[in-house]
Amino acid sequence: MPDSAPIILLHRPQLGENIGSVARVMLNFGLTKLRLIAPRDGWPNPAAEPLSAGAFEAGVSVEVFDTAEAALADLQLVLAATARPRGMEKSVTDAMGGAEQIQDSPLRCGVLFGAENHGLPSELVGLADTIMTYPVNSDFASLNLAQAVGVFCASWGAVQGAVGRWEGEKAGVETPAPKEDLIRMFEHLEEELERAGYFYPPDKTPLMKTNIRNAFIRGNWTTQEVRTFRGAIKALALGRGKARVQRED
């Protein structure tokens, strides 16, 4: 089973200084896996080193991805840090609740944070399983990126100190499919819907896709369920009365 500690993901981070500060606060609370999604100034970034206080040399590893889909592909449980639910039908928690949810899960987990200037786009929040938000002052809700990550990391450290490490996978329960499988299923369905002329008018297409994905995400689909549904999509695409559809591997 995977290490219960979550992966921290930064979507389009801008300042190297913030990345360094994130690494520092991660290691303060025992987190060592950092993923950068399309960092504005590239990676490695010399500006990150001073504020990291040696965190990279001391154990924080960095992976860089061009797209969020690639960075999320192997994760099974994703929390999105955002200031508001955005009208999505998702479970909402705070930092402590998010840390407890991850601690109690045998899944490969990640916590996703947005860029300094705009936060997370709605389509990425739509791919998350849970929205994580903080009870900040409504008149001054802006947090620095490293501060936002630090609030979660401190909660993770508190949970680890209170209950210790997860030592066994829940027996008899099939785990949710990794995001890579779900994204491939979404793309398969959306391709067939495009062919059928479903997405109309064109300017509404991104929102319609996000709503469809958001509905499916709430189902906690297993790998077998994804395979079954992709087989159903293929059968509908081929039409009735055609040869038996070969199931998805």
Give the chain's end-to-end CA distance (angstroms, integer).
Answer: 23
What would the two tokens of residue 110 be? 């990640």
**Band of the pLDDT at 146, cuts 50, 70, 90?**
very high
What is the model's pLDDT at position 168? 36
Sheet holding 33-37, edge to edge: 61-65, 33-37, 7-11, 109-113, 77-81, 130-132, 91-93
Q: Give φ, ψ of 204 to 5 degrees.
A: -95, -5
- Highest average pLDDT, of 66-75, 138-147, 226-235, comes from 66-75
pLDDT in tens, 27-60: 999 999 999 999 999 999 999 999 999 999 999 9
Mean pLDDT calculated for residue range 120-133 = 94
The more confidently predicted of residues 242 and 161 is 161
Q: What angle do CA 67, 125, 248 make, to 5 degrees?
A: 65
Q: Measured between alpha carbons, how far is 110 from 4 in angstroms, rounded to an integer?
A: 10
The 10 Å Cβ neighbour count of residue 241 is 5
Q: Measured between alpha carbons, how far is 72 from 88 in angstroms, rounded to an integer?
A: 20
Break the chain into its structural domains and give their ranges: 7-163, 179-238
- CATH for 7-163 is 3.40.1280.10
Task: Among 213-222, 224-233, 240-249, name the one with the lowest average pLDDT.
Answer: 240-249
Helix axes 145-163, 95-103, angle to 10 degrees: 50
Q: Give φ, ψ of 225 to 5 degrees.
A: -65, -40
pLDDT of 61 higher than 90: yes
What would the two tokens of residue 165 be? 């490490």
**Band of the pLDDT at 3, cuts 50, 70, 90?**
low
